[in-house]
A and B are shown apart, each in its own frame.
Chain A
């Protein structure tokens, strides 16, 4: 398997050697920069790089399906990692470690036993609709989900049910998943994103500028929670690990509550 770390700037701490940093903006030495082939598109957050990664991998393989040895894929997002056991100091929905502690973590903190899914803990948030509306712009999610249904990405009654429930995988893009399933999810998210952006998207300022990232996160979460009931292998889900210079979780610069800033 391959393990990728999506970044948008030079890393401030060394990664384990099995992790490959990747970006869609120039991000310094050692980071696989896909920006020449797949430029970053504002608003898509880490999904810009993940969409680029999906294309890059399939182009490199010369086929859609992963070759032998690449049946599983690992993904982290800058300072967020899915972990196989509770790790770090609990803070908000994360476990926090310093860069020094991060450097000492064994490989199996990030790599689950063969055949097991690894993802961040599933949180309960009331209803997905209500939680999204409290922190973002509801019309964006309504349009986004309606488009996802229209494109056949999610069945409409399942979508309505999941939006009425409160299961949320915060940062659902990180973890270790079957590659074919994960790339299929990315392809679906990209189709919805492109349809949304080309029809009803409204550019937003400040924190809300990452509107597509927020909508992708919810749909990604819904597709992930839909996978779990039919998954016959193992599942490991723990609070995501955050690497923090201060050793505590610091909400992002927009001042948004931590639990909602994936």
Chain B
């Protein structure tokens, strides 16, 4: 199984050797910059966040498949810089995460990140209020999400009924891009998400400044969570593991970042309305 770790700057701690650090911008030694191979994704992380690199990884996996290279277990793992989905609760609870120091991180065993067989691993869903749409509106521009979800339906990526249930519902998956998934599902999902992004950007997207410049990443997080919920429904009850995501933090606690700290990943924005989970 291949396990990719999306980076956007040089890593401050060593990754286990079974994780491949990847980016779509130069990010220092040890990080494979995929942008020369997929120039259409270079520099797009400013708007679509970690998905720029994930869309590149999707191409990488498809090309490997075309060359007849086996993916082994048929699963693929993804982490995002300092965030990791884990097979059991780990670290000190801090906001939505379990936090560990870099020193602790290096001592964690492989099976904390790589489950056996076809088990799916993803971050624990969290409650939001008053609805997913309402929660989105507290932090971002809801017109973006309305357009984005409407386009996703129009492209057949998701059904009308599922979007209704999700946007009017009170649960979301923070950092929905990380985890361990069936490769076939993951490749199809990344393909679908990219189709929605392309349609959104070519029709109704409005460039935004500062923190909100990553508006597409924010929309993607919501749609990715919705698509993930569809996968989970098809899993047997013992076929998935969901725990608070692991966060590597130099002082072992989560520090929110926001508009005053450009260049931080989309999910670093606190989920202030996440049902008192802070």
Task: Give chain A's interface residues, CB within 8 Å of chain B.
Answer: 126-127, 129-130, 132-134, 137-139, 142-143, 145-146, 149-150, 156-157, 159-161, 163-165, 200
The residue on A at minimum CB distance from B206 is A150
Q: From residue A162, how far is it (CB to closest CB) to chain B in Å?
A: 10
Given A133-B161, A133-B164, A200-B154: A146 and B134 within 8 A (CB)?
no
The residue on B at minimum CB distance from A158 is B137
Whether the pair A149, B133 counts as a contact (CB closer than 8 A) is no
Contacts of A138 in B (CB 8 A): 153, 160-161, 163-164
Q: From residue B147, how far is it (CB to closest CB) to chain A in Å?
A: 4
Given contacts A133-B163, A161-B130, A163-B133, 7 further A-B contacts (CB under 8 A): A129-B168, A138-B164, A146-B150, A149-B146, A157-B137, A157-B138, A163-B134
Q: From residue B275, how far is it (CB to closest CB) to chain A in Å?
A: 15
Complex-state Cα separation, A134 to B164, whole angstroms:
8
Complex-state Cα separation, A145 to B160, whole angstroms:
15
Whether a CB of chain A sits under 8 angstroms from the CB of B278 is: no
Contacts of B165 in A (CB 8 A): 130, 133
The residue on A at minimum CB distance from B163 is A138
Given A133-B160, A138-B160, A161-B134: A145 and B146 within 8 A (CB)?
yes
Whether the pair A150, B143 counts as a contact (CB closer than 8 A) is yes
Task: Give chain B's interface residues, CB within 8 Å of chain A.
Answer: 130-131, 133-134, 136-138, 141-143, 146-147, 149-150, 153-154, 160-161, 163-165, 167-168, 204
Q: From residue A181, how far is it (CB to closest CB) to chain B in Å?
A: 24
Given A130-B164, A139-B160: A149 and B130 within 8 A (CB)?
no
A-B contact pairs, 15 of them (CB 8 A): A126-B168, A127-B130, A129-B164, A129-B168, A130-B164, A137-B160, A139-B154, A139-B160, A142-B147, A143-B150, A146-B147, A146-B150, A156-B141, A164-B130, A200-B154
Contacts of B138 in A (CB 8 A): 157
Contacts of B163 in A (CB 8 A): 133, 138-139, 142
The residue on B at minimum CB distance from A131 is B168
Complex-state Cα separation, A184 to B164, whole angstroms:
30
Closest A-B pairs by Cβ, 3 of them: A133-B164, A160-B137, A164-B134
Contacts of B143 in A (CB 8 A): 146, 149-150, 156, 159
Whether the pair A159, B142 counts as a contact (CB closer than 8 A) is yes
